[in-house]
Amino acid sequence: MLRTEAWWLSRMMGGILFRQRMGWMVATAVMTVALLFGVLPYEDAWLNEIRHVSGSEQRAVWKAVAGWMSYWGDFGTFTLLLSAGILFSGWWRRSLHLKRLAVATILAATFAGTMANVLRSGLGRPRPRSGLVDGLYGPSLKSEFHSLPSAHTATAFGSSLPVLIAAPHVGVPLILFAGGVSWSRMHLNQHHPTDVIVGAWIAVLFGLPLGLAVRRRRLNGDMETDLETADEPVEMGEAVKA
């Protein structure tokens, strides 16, 4: 069942991206590029401000916080734990909607993370901590040249966006946590602000259509024994008609 849902969601995502929302995708790409050019002249100063903390004790505390957020915001921790939690909740509540949302969450993060890793391996931008002159050095498998884009940002936002669209009351704190993960990568001197912006755009590219697909399937009416849908007679009525 989960494999079928993954295939269906992937097809829906492709349809939304390339048929129904192509204009939106181009518009967000143009806005992202414009934002990048607007940020580039100031990003060194902004990065210094993000990393600046007065006092050795405070620096140690904020570094520990950033390290904690980076660890728990990675794909192997945040994405897998979030998806597993939603999936378990779906089985517990016998909710096909939640099971589908769990699949969408891990798909969005997987697609976004894969794209981010392919891009940064090909672009070869050095990390801020490397001490190298900023630029694009070309293909490299070395971590020092994997700054653009931020994969942590791509997977954290990619995991959170489908939940934000399908279940906003849960998705809002997840998006805030994803923002914290992005901050942590800059505070630890692992990424430039523009790396984070591109990572977030990649997450939107996959997370938004997958979240819309889950919500659309729910609104079209799923025949499921879900405690939530039991309180929604209109949707259940629509499901019976379907």
In terms of pLDDT, which residue wins out, 29 or 154?
154
Structural domain boundaries enclosing 134: 2-241
In terms of pLDDT, which residue wins out, 6 or 90?
90
235: pLDDT confidence band, cut at 50, 70 and 90?
Answer: very low
Q: Which residues contact 100 (CB under 8 A, 6 or more apart)?
A: 5, 9, 90, 214, 217
**Distance from the Cα of residue 91 to its chain's centroid:** 24
In terms of pLDDT, which residue wins out, 193 or 228?
193
Q: Which residues contact 1 (CB under 8 A, 6 or more apart)?
A: 99
- pLDDT attached to residue 56: 80
19: pLDDT confidence band, cut at 50, 70 and 90?
Answer: low
Q: What is the pLDDT of residues 172-224, one digit of tens each?
A: 999 999 999 999 999 999 999 999 999 999 999 999 989 988 998 887 765 44
Assess whether pLDDT exceeds 50 at residue 226. Answer: no
CA 139, 71, 150: angle at the middle one, nearest 5? 30
- pLDDT attached to residue 165: 95
Assess whether pLDDT exceeds 90 at residue 16. Answer: no
In terms of pLDDT, which residue wins out, 18 or 9?
9
Q: What is the pLDDT of residues 44-60, one digit of tens each?
A: 999 999 998 877 888 99
**Spatial separation of the C-alpha atoms in residues 123 and 148, rounded to whole Å:** 7
- Region 109-124: what's the mean pLDDT? 97
Instruction: Specify the number of domains making up the chain.
Output: 1
Q: Are 117 and 234 contacting, i.e. CB atoms less than 8 angstroms apart? A: no
7: pLDDT confidence band, cut at 50, 70 and 90?
Answer: low
Calculate the average pLDDT of the chain: 86
Q: Which residues contact 28 (CB under 8 A, 6 or more apart)?
A: 201, 204, 205
**Spatial separation of the C-alpha atoms in residues 119 and 11, rounded to whole Å:** 23
- Region 16-27: what's the mean pLDDT? 67
